[in-house]
Structure 1
Amino acid sequence: MLLNDDRNLPYGRLLTLALMVLLAMGILLTRLYDVQLARGDVYTEKLRTQTTVATRLSPARGAIVDRNGIPLAENRASFDVDFYLDELQRNYSRAHRGRLPKIKVPVKRHGEIHYVEQVDIVKIVDEAIEPIARSLGFAHRPDEREIREHFRTRKEIPFQFRTDVDFNTLALFSERNLGVPGIDIVARPVRRYTYGAFAAHVLGYVGKPDENSEALAADGYPYETVGRQGIEGRMDPQLQGQPGGKILRVNYRGYVDREEEVKWPTVGNTVKLTLDARIQYIAEQAMRGVGRGAAVVMDPQTGDVLALVSVPNYNPNDFIPRITSEEWKALNTDPTAPLVDRALSTYPPGSTYKVLIALAALKAGAITKETIIDSPGVVYIAGHPFKDWSPNGQGAIKLRDALRMSCNTFFYQLGANKTGIDPIVKMGQRVGFGEPTGIELSPESKGIMPGPDWLKKNFPRERWTSAYTANVSIGQGAVQVSPLQMCVLMSAVANGGHIYKPRLIQEVVDIDGEQKAEIPAAQPRDPENPTLGMKPNDIEAVRDGLLAVVADGTGRRAQVQGIKVAGKTGTAQAWRVMNGHKMQDNKTWFYGFAPYDKPRYVFCVMVEGGLSGGGTCAPIAHEMLQNIFDMENGKEITLSYLTPASGHFRGVVDVPHPLGADAPAPASAPAANVDPSAPVAPPANGGGDEPATVQEDDAPPIMPKRRGF
């Protein structure tokens, strides 16, 4: 019996072993089923991510072109040295058996500083770049702060170490086989402003995004560049293309074997402007030497902006790929303020404002074109003397001659005694004074349309009197307007009364030419009040006076042979402090339209520190108009690359202020971060028109020593 039991023992053991083998095989088969079938996709992707690298392909921004399709901002190729920080970390870990350098960095949490241990990516980068730096002579090292921030926030996209690598460096990199896993030279599109400083304030510039959440692309990561100013900033969403990417298969050493997958980036949309590059170029050249000023040219029949110039300016190419801190500081501390768009900034308009006063008076029925007003050398309003630029005045004159000779005493009386401030304010508000025009640029100053309500809000202790109205009537006091706003007003006069919103963008089209958006022309500024609301004969009375200004008045230097030009001169007294002295820094103006019978162009020229509207600005307008009409007659305008127009104060003179120590705060070009439309205390009476061909106002008139009346 015992013998039989011993004999059966091996069979029991074999049976147990067989069951154990079957169980193991079942577990293995179950696991194989899970890995190969049930969760095969998961493990395939996991293996794939361990042997592939994802890279981002940069998109190209859309072009900005003028109304004729001339490219003003486009793209060029830049060869850059990129660090793929995530890949550099993996390669370092492989080379050092999983060990990574660590560093403690300060992190602010709930108002307190905590030190957190992180991977020392700077040490990893330094070790990786050493052979390249030694071979190619790169003395420049990566910025530690930028690398740590990039690694912390977006390490999946490349860090740009060097941009615009030259051809020799590119050749050496390939020749010496300097490829290091995670470091590569790539070609990417970067912005190029075709004509340099040309239309700089219109086009604006691009830069790196400031915050990680700013302007995220479709892949969830920030764009490499974003629009900062001008059209680049305003139309950034339309100009941005969408990034693509590559999936690269790498071997066990980290080197790329092949491309597995490619998604090509898309090109952004093209923005077509209303600017005519030829007219813009003509205006830029005419304004180049003035130091500080602005010029605007518009189509009065549509509201299209054909040229928008501000001097001094800058070259937006200096921001590519990024502007240096020294260059940025120089732009921001330059006292002539090259970053300020003077075409959209506001200034006292001087006698150019008399056009608005004439319109308000005619609309209110205060006068007709035949009304005669005795205009002596001085008139008294609210007990204060208001002088004309001519000691003897102009005598008994009608509106036409008052505009032609820019007679101050005529308009003092017209505004203060006959019309009153309310119709003046209503007309100013109707054409958009005191609020932005809505042009597709920012920042835009709204200006000041002073009146009793404005005074009460900003200076509650002051009381509006007829003396304030007299001051407003010649464009002095607190009045502030921009050259663009003045073009809106003059366009309404030129076209018979239609008030159009200025248009800078025509349309947006994609890479295939399909229209994505359109901004219609000839849009009323205010649909509820689309016109001046005046009789045609009254508008024609103002037009006739403006024609006389250029024919034989203060604007004769704007004449163009064979073309009837209408316009109005103006010189506003202004002051600034330079080297501890109050200096006279007048704002000189000339604006108008041509040809008179069928106007195609409205223009405005403003120069800071000019001699006079007739002496400084009218000749500039003549040069612009002469070249524009020559262009229409077949003259070829060849565009060329422009360097920045420099600012200066050569027109500023040391003239004793008529109020001496009681002088109002000096007017100056607004700093880049100052709102030039901020209220200023209304100065006392003062300001004639300008010394011009007819010799107006060589010296400022006597001003009362009190601010209020």
Structure 2
Amino acid sequence: MKKVVFALFFVLLLSGCQEEKKVSPYDVLDEYIVTWKEADYQKMYDTYLTASTKETFTYDVFLERYEKLYGDLEIDNLTIEVLDKDQTWEEENSVTIPGKLSFDTFAGKIEYEKDFVMEKVIKEEEEDTWTIQWDLSFILPDLELTDKVRIDSTTAERGEILDSEGNPMALNGEVFQVGVVPGQFEEEKSLSLLAGIINMDEAYIKSLYTLSWAQPDYDMPVKKFLLEDEEVVRKADEIEGVTVTRVNERIYPYGKAAAHLIGYIGEVTAEDLETLEGYAPGDKVGKRGLEQLLEDRLRAQNGQKIYLEKEDGSTLDIVETASQNGETIQLTINGNMQQTLFETLKEERGTATVLDPTTGKVRSLVSLPTFNPNDYVWGLTTEQRQSLENNPEQPTINRFSYTYSPGSTMKLLTSVIGLANGTLDPTLAYEINSKEWKKDESWGDYKVVRYHENDKNVDLESALKFSDNIYFARVGLEMGPEKFMEGLENLGVGEALPFTYPTVKSQISNYGALDREILLADTAYGQGEFLLNIVHLASIYGGVINNGNMMQPLLLEEEPVKVWKENIVSQEQAKLLQTSLRKIVSEGSSQKANISGREMAGKTGTAEIKMEQGTTGTENGWFVSYDQQDPTMLTAMMIEGVEAKEPRGSTYTVEMTKRFYEALRVSQ
């Protein structure tokens, strides 16, 4: 009997404990916060808001304010924090719980403290619970029903790109914009006339002023022009229904002359938005060249502000991110030299660079043929874009970033390597009595051919003066593959060129070795599988001119001048090679490079692009040169297809280099 009484007492005791347990306002608030983060607005409204709140705000107003403001302001990363959970609440009918809200918007992060006023709801047959007094300041601080949420934007400017003298190579400026007002434009009478004046296809012009969002009184943009094109614009403006306005746009003053180097900007694509952070449809982004490579620095950050406009007209700022202009970046490029180099070569295919061997600063860098970057910014038709991309001359290919066979300009590299490792005695002469040579019968029918027979006893100076293939083939064989490859690696071959503008890595051979005698011999005089970038080649020549120290090539004025490869040859050996480079022009195979008033020095090269010996292929003509009176300017030039030029071969490149120096003198 005692056991039954004890059990009954335990049940009654447990029942009494359960009756005394009360719902905590903190638990209700936690549930509300979870529902809030899940954006379950119906449950938030129906379950947790006080009756007085619902009298003030209908569900439609509650829902519309949350969804619209959260969407328009791009609210994300919502955090709701309860700051004090230690208050006594058991005997209270109302509890104020301090809290803190924070979230991100497109204009920046918003953080503010907000009290949660909890009211007890007493129920007769159910447990008491708690509800929340809600108002619009739960969405934005200080927001009231009569307030208007406003957004303001401050436009920032993209950073400009300047040449070494401070002249703009990419800038933000005014251009003319020709437009059409559809309701005022007489198509049958004026379309062909306008097309002829602004040099655009009639169908394309029509497609622009008949876009889906066009209206009869809208000014529909058609084409932009530089301010210097005022005469063309004036003629277009005389047509009824055609408008001319001035708008801000990205401008490339050097146009075709620096297209591959500077690049251009364009609207972000759907693919861009998948990979780039902080961009929105309609934003501009670098698409090629330095505009793309330096995007993070050039990019402008527009200012954004969210504020409240009160009923009395006063305003209250909620959050603001200040606008930030992009950086202005100064290049080592000399704009005048760049333009002169381009004008000299504008009808050619190839690439050229000018650098200062004493500092490594690149003064000019061109790739030809080319395009006008302004056309890409101001609008190309689909047909125009396809015409550029399908052009067999490949104007959109950036040649100065690629590698090429250096032809006989390689002979200076072989000389540098042999002198540095001690395998080449510059005074030792090879007896060479014929135009053709092979090591032994193991070479089969393959022979090395020399194109000048000026000397029978050929030393280094003579071999460089007359570009003797047999001499350098024998130097390479006697050096051996291991020492030759080690020497190339000491010149930076096989490693990434430490240059702001990315280039393809140079290569020793197609498979990275020189383990065949014929390949080694051919490489030593410049006809193997060895490939080199033009800036890298110019830098190696620059190391000889700079008395043995090869400088890191620089493209930005802010970059520190520093040695890339130290002591590629001794000062004495550098002087020896400088003398030979001068004699190549004064006495040897490149005498056409002589210019009155200058002491020109340099080395030519003709790279034959063919499948096998005995066949006919195309030729790239090289000339690397400098004036020994001014060792701060070295020019490396490569022209494609010189087999069809007059004069033929590298002599044509010599002629073009000479024209460049002469034109540069006039322009200065």
TM-score by length of 1: 0.62
Q: 1:60 to 1:557 in 2, by over 3 A?
A: same
Q: 1:362 to 1:287 in 2, by over 3 A?
A: same
Q: How far apart are 1:540 and its partner, in Å?
A: 2.1
Aligned positions of 1:396-435 closer than 5 A: 396-416=457-477, 418-435=478-495
Aligned positions of 1:655-666 closer than 5 A: none
| SS at 2:550 equivalent | coil
What corresponds to 2:653 in structure 1?
Answer: 617
Matched, 1:280 2:316: no
Q: 1:223 to 1:139 in 2, by over 3 A?
A: closer
What corresponds to 2:500 in structure 1?
Answer: 440
Contact 1:215–1:222 (CA<8 Å) still a contact in 2?
Answer: no
Contact 2:581–2:602 (CA<8 Å) still a contact in 1?
Answer: yes
Residue number among 603, 610, 624 corresponding to 1:591 in the alignment: 624
Residue number among 494, 497, 503 corresponding to 2:545 in the alignment: 494
Contact 1:554–1:614 (CA<8 Å) still a contact in 2?
Answer: no
What corresponds to 1:553 in structure 2?
Answer: 588
Q: How far apart are 1:237 and its partner, in Å?
A: 1.1
Q: How far apart are 1:287 and its partner, in Å?
A: 1.2
What corresponds to 1:244 in structure 2?
Answer: 303
Q: 1:374 to 1:206 in 2, by over 3 A?
A: same
Aligned positions of 1:288-299 closer than 5 A: 288-289=346-347, 291-299=348-356
For residues 263 and 136 of structure 1, the distance between their equivalents in structure 2, rounded to whole angstroms, comes to 43
TM-superposition CA deviations, 1:224-255 (whole Å, max 9, x none): 1101111101111111111135779999xxxx
Aligned positions of 1:90-129 closer than 5 A: none
Q: Which amino acid aligns with 2:625?
A: G
Q: Which amino acid aligns with 1:203?
A: I
What corresponds to 1:105 in structure 2?
Answer: none
Contact 2:136–2:144 (CA<8 Å) still a contact in 1?
Answer: no
What corresponds to 2:284 in structure 1?
Answer: 225
What corresponds to 1:356 in structure 2?
Answer: 413
Identity %: 23
For residues 81 and 292 of structure 1, the distance between their equivalents in structure 2, rounded to whole angstroms, comes to 34
For residues 38 and 246 of structure 1, the distance between their equivalents in structure 2, rounded to whole angstroms, comes to 18
Name structure 2 gaps, 5 residues minimum: 1-50, 58-116, 118-132, 187-205, 226-232
For residues 423 and 411 of structure 1, the distance between their equivalents in structure 2, rounded to whole angstroms, comes to 15
Aligned positions of 1:621-700 closer than 5 A: 621-628=657-664, 630=665, 636-637=667-668
Contact 1:555–1:614 (CA<8 Å) still a contact in 2?
Answer: no
Q: 1:45 to 1:618 in 2, by over 3 A?
A: farther
Aligned positions of 1:303-382 closer than 5 A: 303-376=360-433, 377-382=435-440
Q: How far apart are 1:388 and its partner, in Å?
A: 3.1
Q: Which amino acid aligns with 1:394?
A: D
What corresponds to 1:59 in structure 2?
Answer: 156
Q: 1:78 to 1:623 in 2, by over 3 A?
A: closer
Q: Which amino acid aligns with 2:592?
A: R
For residues 500 and 596 of structure 2, the distance between their equivalents in structure 1, rounded to whole angstroms, comes to 35
Q: Which amino acid aligns with 1:519?
A: E
Q: 1:234 to 1:47 in 2, by over 3 A?
A: farther
Q: 1:411 to 1:53 in 2, by over 3 A?
A: same
For residues 550 and 420 of structure 1, the distance between their equivalents in structure 2, rounded to whole angstroms, comes to 30
Aligned positions of 1:467-616 closer than 5 A: 467-506=518-557, 518-521=558-561, 523-525=562-564, 529-532=565-568, 534-575=569-610, 584-595=617-628, 599-611=631-643, 612=648, 614-616=650-652
Q: 1:71 to 1:222 in 2, by over 3 A?
A: same
TM-superposition CA deviations, 1:162-208 (whole Å, max 9, x none): 4768999x999xx9xxxxxxxxx998632111122121111011111
Q: How far apart are 1:591 and its partner, in Å?
A: 0.3
Q: 1:270 to 1:330 in 2, by over 3 A?
A: same
TM-superposition CA deviations, 1:248-284 (whole Å, max 9, x none): 9999xxxxx9999898744311110000111112211
Contact 2:436–2:449 (CA<8 Å) still a contact in 1?
Answer: yes
For residues 388 and 368 of structure 1, the distance between their equivalents in structure 2, rounded to whole angstroms, comes to 22
For residues 602 and 298 of structure 2, the distance between their equivalents in structure 1, rounded to whole angstroms, comes to 39
Contact 2:436–2:450 (CA<8 Å) still a contact in 1?
Answer: no
What corresponds to 2:80 in structure 1?
Answer: none
| SS at 2:143 equivalent | helix
| SS at 2:341 equivalent | helix
| SS at 2:623 equivalent | strand
Q: Which has the higher contact order (CA 8 A, sep 6+)?
A: 1
Q: How far apart are 1:435 and its partner, in Å?
A: 3.6
| SS at 1:432 equivalent | coil
Q: 1:40 to 1:270 in 2, by over 3 A?
A: closer
For residues 54 and 309 of structure 2, the distance between their equivalents in structure 1, rounded to whole angstroms, comes to 31
Q: 1:250 to 1:327 in 2, by over 3 A?
A: farther
TM-superposition CA deviations, 1:363-418 (whole Å, max 9, x none): 222232211111232222242352433475731121101100111111111111x2
CA RMSD in angstroms comes to 4.3
Name structure 1 gaps, 5 residues minimum: 1-25, 83-128, 148-159, 176-184, 252-256, 456-462, 507-517, 577-581, 638-709
| SS at 1:505 equivalent | coil
TM-superposition CA deviations, 1:456-477 (whole Å, max 9, x none): xxxxxxx922222111111112
TM-score by length of 2: 0.65
Residue number among 139, 143, 150 corresponding to 1:44 in the alignment: 143
TM-superposition CA deviations, 1:444-492 (whole Å, max 9, x none): 22132139x714xxxxxxx922222111111112111122121011000
Contact 2:357–2:550 (CA<8 Å) still a contact in 1?
Answer: no
TM-superposition CA deviations, 1:552-592 (whole Å, max 9, x none): 1111111122222211111111149xxxxx96310111102
Q: Which amino acid aligns with 1:395?
A: K
Aligned residues: 496
Contact 2:623–2:636 (CA<8 Å) still a contact in 1?
Answer: yes
For residues 203 and 260 of structure 1, the distance between their equivalents in structure 2, rounded to whole angstroms, comes to 44
Contact 1:293–1:311 (CA<8 Å) still a contact in 2?
Answer: yes
TM-superposition CA deviations, 1:106-126 (whole Å, max 9, x none): xxxxxxxxxxxxxxxxxxxxx
Matched, 1:204 2:263: yes
Contact 2:365–2:400 (CA<8 Å) still a contact in 1?
Answer: yes
What corresponds to 1:689 in structure 2?
Answer: none
